[in-house]
Structure 1
Amino acid sequence: MQKHRIILIALFFATLFYSCSEQKKEETKARGIWTKEQANDWYKQQKWLVGVNFTPANAINQLEMWQADTYDTATIDKELGWAADLGMTTVRVYLHDALYEQDSVGFLNRIDSFLSIAKKRNIKPLLVIFDSCWDPFYKLGKQRDPLPFKHNSGWVQSPGQVALKDSLQYPRLERYVKGLVKHFANDDRILGWDVWNEPDNMTGPSYEKVETPDKVALVLPLLEKTFAWARSVNPSQPLTSGIWSGDWSSEDKLKPIEKLQLEQSDVITFHNYDTPEEFEKRIKWLQRYGKPLICTEYMARPNGSTFAGFLPIAEKYNVGMINWGFVDGKTQTKYPWDTWTKNYTSEPPVWFHEILKADGSPYRKEETDLIRSMTGAKPVK
């Protein structure tokens, strides 16, 4: 009897060891970066990607959009309905690591709710995990009111300067990335994961006095880790991080962080707020990678970056297009970037971003007519 008991105990521990080993293997098995063939096969399955960077009009930033007290399904549903009426097929939406740390279950549930609303409108969101733009010091809870006439006066970075400079917080960031992506790894409501928005952005005149000078040196290795963390849970959706400035005409002109972004991205994303000629030139530069191209930020009217100038070029080259700004609201991005260096006391003569007024009517009807005609949406009578 004693002998049988010993054998049973041994078998139990052997089975347990095997199970743990197999689980460990599964957890550490990361998929590779998509080949050109894999990326293009995925892209062929998508409708032409036309959409907006989406923050509901009643949220000043990512925190106010997603926190439990201010998460507003009615406004989100209404505004995504307006996007669907324009024939839009995607929206780019920013998340934040502090929300996961605060209440991971609640945050994931709210993302799930958002995805359900978007699916009802036949919109597949591109979710942004980290962001290096604007205020380096976020605070959870009630967000500040917009500064009058100021562009994006309440937007905050993720992970933020404190965490970026403290490697002891990196395990927390790893849990966020892995937990988030794993939870939705096989969710076909999601278009993809934008791993880090403008990772080397030094914030310009808005916050340069408080920005850490070694920011890019800190972000570069963390960006590489973030790609690895996200890929380790084997997401079915593509990973990407968009390049946004500089000379991309050849490999030897790329900055190290741009090389990393392009090498690690399953599909290529980029930003451009310049003229149509510059936009087309950059598309041609990026075609050498042989992967799908998606412009995840554009449209700044005074710069010459317009729907009329850009959408026909994008259609010609089969480039996905996601403009900045949708409904005029608390982000105040109808005001230009230079509101951080100039005094504005009234609405700008030409809106910088945004497509719709607060009531859903178009800022310029010729723009919404053009968008509808190019997406195949029914015209408004």
Structure 2
Amino acid sequence: MHQTLKTITLALVAGTLLILQSCSTVKSSEGTKGTKWTKEKATAWYNKQPWLVGANFIPSTAINQLEMWQADSFDTLTINRELGWARSIGMNTARVYLHDLLYEQDSVGFFKRMDIFLDIAAKHNIKPLFVIFDSCWDPFPKLGKQRTPKPHTHNPGWVQSPGQLALKDSTQYPRLERYVKSLLRHFKNDDRILAWDLWNEPDNMTGPSYEAVEIPNKVALIIPLLTETFRWAREVSPSQPLTSGVWAGNWSEPSKLKPIEALQLEQSDIISFHNYGAPEEFETCIKWLQRYERPIICTEYMARPNGSTFAGFLPIAKKYNVAMYNWGFVNGKTQTIYPWDSWTKTYSAEPPLWFHDIFQTDGTPYKQEEVDFIKKMTGTESTTKR
């Protein structure tokens, strides 16, 4: 390791340890205390849940979080129809992304639309896991009408939250604090909500799609902001648990964790992770994370060409009582039937094997045997009609 890089890394580790010590218990300006859930409280909460199986959900008519939630494009008909399909195969939860700009644009309207969404989900007996911040894909989100999907490209319009401009500008952090606290205060006792995922893949550097404009010190900026996000959430003390999932690395022992992974795992009430590898790798990750003695949820999996499949993963997850959220549900504007490499490799037609997603837009399963298997695993009658 280069000496300068080593010095920076050691400094980040030391800083992260201090941060973890300081935010394990916080006192808010409102005079209340917020603490990380004990293992016993987290386990008791999880024992009240059914085996949780769902998808990362966005309606097929939305290209990203903004288009899903903005007033002009909030599509309750599609949301209701597609959540119905989810329930028909036994899904009882969904992971759903929010965005800080939605609160900035119209906080009252945004929360009203969330209430409508929660009513629709509750009608289908689906409890959402909401994602507050996200570091993946386009770092320059803009409100208003969203772009037209670039053909044959995986997630051609997904946007980061907060965007790069806000991430680099500490004067915007009070705005982000208001968003997090207002959101959690509004829904802190809402039993229609399963849990809160504070930050998706915080150290993801986006990759080839926007590499030329990605800031090299992104992770150094996010570590203190993620720490603050946990602190803000603890001050509100919602009735639902908090998490932020590790997604790429070696979690076999504490000494192998990156500073940001140590932060995520230390501060999460329930442990979450992603895995798009082979079933054996998935099972190994579960065993690594069992040392925290907390509920474990896999918030992303299922990439068919990688060997990450329903048939390979769900039996393992059920064996270890791990909650499961596959990526992708209905083939729509996000175009995640195409693989990640569609940003660097040209596709001119549907790939021979879908990367993600379960249904066509008319509700026809991509693979009937997959849907039948999911129904079998979730105990749903094979005669369930959409």
- Shorter-chain TM-score: which interval? over 0.9
Pairwise CA distance, 1:31: 2.0
Quick check: 1:207 aligned with 2:213? no
Q: Residue 37 of structure 1 corresponds to which residue in structure 2?
A: 40
How many angstroms does 1:230 deviate by? 1.0
Tell me, yes or no, if structure 1 residue 264 matches structure 2 residue 267. Answer: yes
CA gap of 1:28–1:195, structure 2 versus 1, over 3 A, is farther
Q: CA deviation at 1:329?
A: 0.1
The whole-number CA distance in structure 2 between the counterparts of 1:231 and 1:331 is: 33
Is 2:129 the counterpart of 1:119?
Answer: no
Aligned equivalents of 1:108, 1:200: Cα separation in 2: 28
Deviations 1:43-98 (A, max 9, x none): 00001100000000000000000000000111100000000001101000000000
Q: 1:278 to 1:25 in 2, by over 3 A?
A: closer
Rounded to whole Å, the distance in 2 between the matches of 1:295 and 1:326 is 16
Of 175, 178, 196, the match for 1:175: 178
Give the residue type in structure 2 aligned to 1:330.
Answer: K
Q: Tell me how far apart the structure 2 counterparts of residues 70 and 369 of structure 1 sit (CA, whole Å).
A: 33
Partner residue, 1:299: 302
| Structure 1 letter corresponding to 2:172 | Q
* Counterpart Cα distance in 1 of 2:47 and 2:28: 32
Letter in 2 for 1:176: Y
When the two structures are superposed, what TM-score results if normalisation uses the length of structure 2? Answer: 0.92
State the partner residue of 2:155: 152
Which amino acid counterpart does residue 368 of structure 2 have in structure 1? K
> Once the two structures are superposed, what CA deviation does each residue of 1:245-277 show, in whole Å capped at 9, x if it has no partner?
010000000000000000100000000000000
Alignment of 1:284-363 (within 5 A): 284-363=287-366
- The answer as to whether partners of 2:244 and 2:264 remain within 8 angstroms in 1 is yes
Give the whole-Å Cα distance in 2 for the aligned partners of 1:210 and 1:148: 22
1:178-193 equivalences under 5 Å are 178-193=181-196
Q: Give the distance between the partners of 2:206 and 2:196, measured in 1 at CA.
A: 23
Which residue in the other structure is 2:283 paired with?
280
Q: CA deviation at 1:380?
A: 3.0
Deviating beyond 3 angstroms after TM superposition, the runs of 4 or more aligned structure 1 residues are: none
Q: Please state whether the residue corresponding to 1:128 is helix, strand or coil.
A: strand
Q: Supply the distance in 1 between the matched residues of 2:55 and 2:130 (Cα, whole angstroms).
A: 12
Q: For the aligned residues, what is the CA RMSD?
A: 1.0
Amino acid corresponding to residue 351 of structure 1 in structure 2: W
Deviation at 1:28, TM superposition (A): 3.7
Q: Which of 121, 138, 141 is 1:138 aligned to?
A: 141
**1:218 aligned residue:** 221
- 2:252: which partner in 1? 249
The aligned length equals 358
Deviation at 1:29, TM superposition (A): 1.5
* Letter of the structure 1 residue corresponding to residue 330 of structure 2: V
Aligned residue type for 1:256 = P
Counterparts in 2 of 1:25 and 1:156: CA distance versus 1, 3 Å: closer
1:157-168 matches, within 5 Å, as 157-168=160-171
Paired position in structure 2 for 1:379: 382
Residues 216 and 26 of structure 1: CA distance in aligned 2, closer, same or farther (over 3 Å): closer
Instruction: State the one-letter code of the partner of 1:285.
Output: W
8 Å contact kept, 2:245–2:272: yes
- What is the rounded CA distance, in whole Å, between the counterparts of 1:30 and 1:312 in structure 2? 40
The secondary structure found in structure 2 opposite 1:321 is strand
How far apart are residue 27 of structure 1 and its match? 2.0
**Structure 1 vs Structure 2: percent identity of aligned residues?**
71
Aligned-partner SS, 2:209: helix
Q: What does the per-residue CA deviation read over 1:265-291, in whole Å, with 9 as the maximum and x for residues that have no partner?
A: 000000000000000000000000000
Q: Aligned partners of 1:280 and 1:240: how far apart in 2?
A: 20
Distance, in Å, in 2 between the alignment partners of 1:230 and 1:331 is 30
- Alpha-carbon distance in structure 2 between the residues aligned to 1:96 and 1:316: 35
Aligned to 2:367: 364
2 CA distance for matches of 1:34 and 1:87? 29
Bigger radius of gyration, 1 or 2?
1
2:264 partner letter: Q
TM-score for the superposition, normalised by structure 1: 0.93
Residues of 2 paired with 1:319 and 1:79: CA distance?
24
Matches within 5 A, 1:85-104: 85-104=88-107
Aligned to 1:58: 61
User: Which whole-Å deviations, capped at 9, do the CAs of 1:288-344 have from their partners, x for residues lacking one?
Assistant: 000000000000000000000000000000000000000000000000000011011
Letter in 2 for 1:41: A
Tell me, in whole angstroms, the C-alpha distance in 2 between the residues paired with 1:298 and 1:174.
30
Q: What is the alpha-carbon distance in structure 1 between the residues aligned to residue 273 and residue 172 of structure 2?
A: 29
Letter in structure 2 aligned against 1:244:
W
Aligned letter for 2:383? V
Report the Cα offset of residue 25 of structure 1: 7.0
Which runs of 5 or more structure 2 residues have no equivalent in the other structure? Answer: 1-26
Q: Secondary structure at the match of 1:103?
A: helix
Report if aligned partners of 1:27, 1:233 keep a CA contact under 8 Å in 2. no
